[in-house]
Structure 1
Amino acid sequence: MADEPTGNLDTKAGKEIMDLLLDLNRKKGTTLIIVTHDPGIAAQTQRVIRLRDGLLESEDK
C-alpha cells in the first residue's frame, strides 16, 4: 500500500519510484494499492477505483 508515493518528489524521482513499484507488482504477482490525486499515476495502473466522500464513485479496468 502506498499513499501518495510520488507526492513530494520531482518528476524524475517520481517516475523511478513508480517504475520500481509497478515492476515489483508484476514480478511478485502481488496486489498494489496506490492512493493518489495524480491522474498520470492512476493511468499507469491496471484498475482505478475512485472514491468521493467515502463512497465508491466509479471503477475503471
Structure 2
Amino acid sequence: MRPRLILADEPTGNLDRHTGQEVIALLEKLQAAGGTLVVVTHDAELGARARRRLRMVDGELVSDETD
C-alpha cells in the first residue's frame, strides 16, 4: 500500500532507541515515496528532523518554523 497521508502520534514514545530509529527510517522512506508525514511528538530530537515544525502549548499555536 502507498498511503498518501501518515499520521504518527508519538511513534517512538514507548520504544527503545534502536527500534525507534527503525520506525523513523520506515516513516521517512514512506515520505520519500511521495507521502505526507505528520508526527506529533514531545521528542525534540525527532522534531528537529522535520522540514516544518508547529509548536503548541496548551492547545495554542506558539510557533511555525520552516527549514
TM-score by length of 2: 0.83
SS in structure 1 of the partner of residue 37 of structure 2: coil
Normalized per residue, which structure has more helix? Answer: 1
Structure 1 runs, 4 residues or longer, greater than 3 Å off: none
Q: CA RMSD in A?
A: 0.8
1:13, distance to aligned residue in structure 2 (A):
0.4
Normalized per residue, which structure has more strand? Answer: 2
In structure 2, the residue matched to 1:37 is 42
Question: Of residues 27, 48, 53 in structure 2, which corresponds to 1:48?
Answer: 53
Unaligned 5+ runs, structure 2: 1-6
Aligned residues: 60
What is the aligned-residue identity percentage? 47
TM-score by length of 1: 0.91
